[in-house]
Structure 1
Amino acid sequence: PDDDPFYSAHKFNPFPEAIEQNGVELQDVTRREQQIRSKTGDSKPMSPDPLVGSAASDLATAVDSLPALLDRKKQLEVHTSILQAVMNEVASRDVPQFYELETSMATGSFKNDVGKAKKLVLELVTDPKKGNVEDKVRLVLVFCLATKAKSTDVEEVAEAMKTALETRGSAINSDGSQRGTLGKEERNRLAQGMRAIEYLKHFRSMNMMIPMSEAMEDTTSSTAAGKDMLSSFMKSATNQATGLLAKASEKVGSMLGKSQKHHATRVVEHLCEMKPNSEDDLYLYLDPKVKEDVDVQALRQMTRAPVREIIAFTIGGGCYGEFQNLQMLANERRTVSYGSTELVDPCTFLSQLGQLA
């Protein structure tokens, strides 16, 4: 994938920026292609004038570049198709609505009103027109982790979700089929999700978890900015791409331009800055140049060279989202590498939680 110039340039960019640049680059390539084709359509005889000869040479160069230009256009059109497919999937499941509520709970918006959070979660998980099994299980898990809801409230929400899914089905099944009763695979996923919820309830009762509102720092850009970027792309892309993407843009627009700094990213940032009264006070410093223990207080008072290379390794399960979030600390002079005992996708992680119950 890194051989793809568009992917290399935008793989860590926010979704709306990738959409915007895809439209800009596709429009530019299309314009250059049309310019070359319009020149080659001129059938006038060659003139002996040296200026004309120079122009002919330039034209020959342009024609020679056409195959590469067409390959570039083809690559960009593939990205347009991918963006369209992602947006259609997001829109068909009403993912933005789940995302908004999950983010609000995770960032502490319902810290003093758990009852309201419970009401909103209940409405979503029992609505057969919204989300699939994983979307609803994930929402209940976030409700369990991000709020101070009582175990009885979590149980009530989980049972309501289970009953609604078993009797009325979900908006879209795992095989992409439309709303209907759950198939065998979806029922297995639901049972697995219920076990995962039970495990997290037990784990939460042990008070061993960092509150979600403390583990995520909001670095949100405005939602309006995300919508503006999407609208700009829709206008600048080709008519076909615009038509395809327009169908999903309204629902997707509400979740564009938003990001939070995850716990791992904040920890690494604090360690790099040696920030007092943070995780920096708890972590061990190892310096091969120092024979004895490192005096952290003295080290803080010294003039240090900025950190140029970061390697963050998680003992246990890691994920692509955490790796991507850590790239918020990377720049032209700093690289961030990431590793973990195991890299798992969300559905695999949910399965593992269910197995622990």
Structure 2
Amino acid sequence: MGTNLRIKQTAALNRMLNFNSSLEDREGGGGNEWSDHWKVLVYDRKCRDIISPLLNVSKLRKRGVTLHLLLESEREEIPDVPAVYFIEPTEENVARLAEDLKKRLYSAVYLNFASKLDRPLMERLAKNAIASNSYSMVTKVVDQYLDFVTLEPSLFTLNQANSYLSYNNPGASEADIETYARAVTYGVFSMLATVGSVPVIRCAAGGPAEMVARQLNDLISEHLLGNSPFFLRGTGGSTAAFHRPLLIIFDRNDDLVTALHHTSSYQALVDDVLPHRLNRVTVESRQDGESGGATKKRNYDLDVENDQFYCRYAGALFPEAIQANGAELAEVTKKEEEIRSKTITQLGKGERVDDPTQDGSAKELLSAVDSLPKLLERKKSLEVHTNILQAIMSAIAAREVPIFFDVEESMVASSRADKATVKALLADPDKGSLQDKLRLLAVFTLSSKASTADLQELNETVRQAFATSPPSSSSLGAWPSHEEVELGIGAVNYLRRQRAVQHLPDLIESDSNKAGGGVRGSLGAGTAIQGAAGIGGVDSGYMSHFINKAQSQATGLLAKATNLLSRRNSLYVSRVVDNLCNFKPNTEDESFLYLDPKVKGLDSSAVKGRAPYREVIVFMVGGGCYAEYQNLQEYSRQQSATAPRHVLYGCTELLNAEGFLTQLTELGRKSKW
């Protein structure tokens, strides 16, 4: 099964909330008993994001947390209750902490820092506590090394905003780059310490990936020499020592296309076209199901562990998710109607459904009635996905996303770019938003060998597309200004110049050169999805209308996508993972650096007789995306039959293409390209 990051980090957080006692440190995430110790939890915004995907309000209450408050908020004195602090080790936080101690807000203070508290800050905190005579309130000070956010059992992020911009900024000094690399290093170290594993580290030579890899190698070595308890945490016995994971560190510049490519799977589209952060998605729902009705924003929490539908279809192609949602909802509704109909018939005969003396049919009905609450809960969950699916359909229909996806996929799969097709899409003001056109232009720029004159011609095509007033029938939202268009073109020009300066290799290989399978498919060959009129609630008539329409559309899309589904592509990260795990000659296995924290000075030339890796950790410096994560999970599932291999995916931040374009735009502005 592999390492479950959610279980590991939840166990560490529960241990922290239990005043760092190991009494409840269990593999299941901290035990099921209620805590006898009531306390206040104080956190900063970053640490709140670490906790929120794992522990909701009811779980915090179960751990004895009566109040959870932001460090920066104005808090009242609660002198009879201890406080557990969980904060980042920053100058601002330490100063605010010193003020809390001076005011004696709580009876005792347990200080937990998400990463290492450096000595200068520690000395400053101690000096302030002594000056205010409040040092006796501090019961424990612990570097927790929990500075990462776990979103799924195999997915984590350091949640570091503008991570690609940080190390590509032409104005960044060496000190800035060093500070950035150090923050990334401690974030990855936090994950490894929580899991309790000492990995073998591989990365390409040069750039931020090597910088992070070498710092991480040294940091782990220091802790091993000091008999640090971190790498004993959660190992579950001695078997972990025999199956060390492989950690592969990538640079976002290794594969820029994937970060900009339009997506086709359910989860990736949720992140691409809807407001989505830390597993929470926001959907605009229409009150009356009509296109002109008032809208209301609804927030839904998506849980790949407990939500059966999302667990099965998060990585599935979007049309498959629509089809499955319609089929499952129809099945659940039918079962509900059957139970209710039988119950009414039984009551009409004057019989009690809960009478144990009744015959077998009555007992069968009683069992069915008992299952009704769970059935209704499942129906409610499916209706949530119906609303989300329709919101996605409306967005991609307005922007005609399937057309952009199909053109980009053709470029990636065949290594050929049809300039005329690209130009026609860029020139049509009715197809795609500015971001859609810029993404298409960026993929063309990165995957083709077009001349500078061709690229300038396409830039001018984008300018002309938005030079006139928006079409009267446009449903693409606010029309971009001239400045926004120029900044977007500057972002694409930055990519072109960056590729030329760094001599980036062509990452788009022909199908015959690609190893393994992937998860890319198609939304349809040039098929525009016609969205329903509105989102609405769960009205049965409206829901039935949507389900019928969704099923019909999904069937059409799947039929037209058949010719592309057989050509699923393995992404760059998945191909490298396969090459390194299988020790393939003339691949990255020979060119990537080999670092082992347990063996000082070891390099790739000294590696002999390596054992197969059962667990792989992929980490992307500069921002990752759901497309890469799902591609790696598909690769992992394909390996399960022959050589079981579990893949964890992490990144400095999870980005959709629009977020990545925003950073590229800023880089284009700073570089004056």
Corresponding residue number in structure 1 for 2:132: none
Corresponding residue number in structure 2 for 1:352: 663
Distance 1:165 1:222, change over 3 A: closer
Matched, 1:205 2:500: yes
1:161 Cα deviation after fit:
1.3
Corresponding residue number in structure 2 for 1:44: 349
For 2:324 and 2:492, the matched residues in 1 are separated by 40
2:441 pairs with 140, 143, 160, which one? 140
1:155 Cα deviation after fit:
0.7
The one-letter code sitting in structure 1 at the alignment partner of 2:465 is A
Q: Which runs of 5+ in 2 are unaligned?
A: 1-301, 530-542, 669-673
Matched, 1:66 2:66: no
Corresponding residue number in structure 1 for 2:509: 214
Corresponding residue number in structure 2 for 1:323: 629
SS in 2 for 1:214: coil
Corresponding residue number in structure 2 for 1:27: 330
For 1:284 and 1:205, the matched residues in 2 are separated by 24
1:162 Cα deviation after fit:
0.8
Distance 1:54 1:11, change over 3 A: same
SS in 2 for 1:337: strand
Which 10-residue stretch deviates more, 16-25 or 137-146?
A: 16-25
Corresponding residue number in structure 1 for 2:460: 159
- 1:297-316 correspondence runs (5 A): 299=608, 304=611, 306-316=612-622
SS in 1 for 2:467: helix
For 2:559 and 2:470, the matched residues in 1 are separated by 27
Which 10-residue stretch deviates more, 65-74 or 200-209?
A: 200-209
1:282 pairs with 591, 595, 603, which one? 591
1:69 Cα deviation after fit:
1.0
Distance 1:44 1:285, change over 3 A: same
**Considering only aligned residues, what root-mean-square deviation do their CA atoms show, in Å?**
3.5
1:220–1:259 Cα contact (<8 Å) kept: yes
How big is each residue's C-alpha offset from its partner over 1:60-98, in whole Å with a ceiling of 9 and x where there is no partner? Answer: 222122122122112112212322222232222221221
SS in 1 for 2:505: coil
For 2:523 and 2:600, the matched residues in 1 are separated by 55
Corresponding residue number in structure 2 for 1:126: 427
Corresponding residue number in structure 1 for 2:130: none
Matched, 1:87 2:375: no
Identity of aligned residues (%): 39
The one-letter code sitting in structure 2 at the alignment partner of 1:104 is S
How big is each residue's C-alpha offset from its partner over 1:254-298, in whole Å with a ceiling of 9 and x where there is no partner? Answer: 457464211111111111111111111112334566677477797
The one-letter code sitting in structure 2 at the alignment partner of 1:328 is E
Q: Which runs of 5+ in 1 are unaligned?
A: 231-236
The one-letter code sitting in structure 1 at the alignment partner of 2:628 is E
Distance 1:169 1:293, change over 3 A: same
SS in 2 for 1:329: helix
1:336 pairs with 634, 642, 647, which one? 647
Corresponding residue number in structure 2 for 1:192: 487
The one-letter code sitting in structure 2 at the alignment partner of 1:103 is E
For 1:215 and 1:126, the matched residues in 2 are separated by 29
For 1:288 and 1:144, the matched residues in 2 are separated by 40
For 2:420 and 2:552, the matched residues in 1 are separated by 32
2:463–2:485 Cα contact (<8 Å) kept: yes
For 1:308 and 1:297, the matched residues in 2 are separated by 22
2:406–2:523 Cα contact (<8 Å) kept: no
For 2:380 and 2:594, the matched residues in 1 are separated by 50
For 2:337 and 2:327, the matched residues in 1 are separated by 16
1:94–1:251 Cα contact (<8 Å) kept: no
Corresponding residue number in structure 2 for 1:55: 361
For 1:269 and 1:97, the matched residues in 2 are separated by 31
2:519–2:568 Cα contact (<8 Å) kept: yes
1:203 Cα deviation after fit:
1.4
More helix by share: 1
For 1:251 and 1:21, the matched residues in 2 are separated by 14
How big is each residue's C-alpha offset from its partner over 1:215-268, in whole Å with a ceiling of 9 and x where there is no partner? Answer: 984758887999xxx9xxxxxx95541125646875686457464211111111
Which 10-residue stretch deviates more, 140-149 or 1-10?
A: 1-10
Corresponding residue number in structure 1 for 2:157: none
Q: Rg larger in 1 or in 2? A: 2
Which 10-residue stretch deviates more, 314-323 or 214-223?
A: 214-223
Corresponding residue number in structure 2 for 1:18: 321
Distance 1:195 1:251, change over 3 A: farther
The one-letter code sitting in structure 1 at the alignment partner of 2:498 is F
Which 10-residue stretch deviates more, 133-142 or 277-286?
A: 277-286
1:262 pairs with 568, 571, 595, which one? 571
Corresponding residue number in structure 2 for 1:7: 310
SS in 2 for 1:342: coil
2:520–2:569 Cα contact (<8 Å) kept: no
1:317–1:344 Cα contact (<8 Å) kept: yes
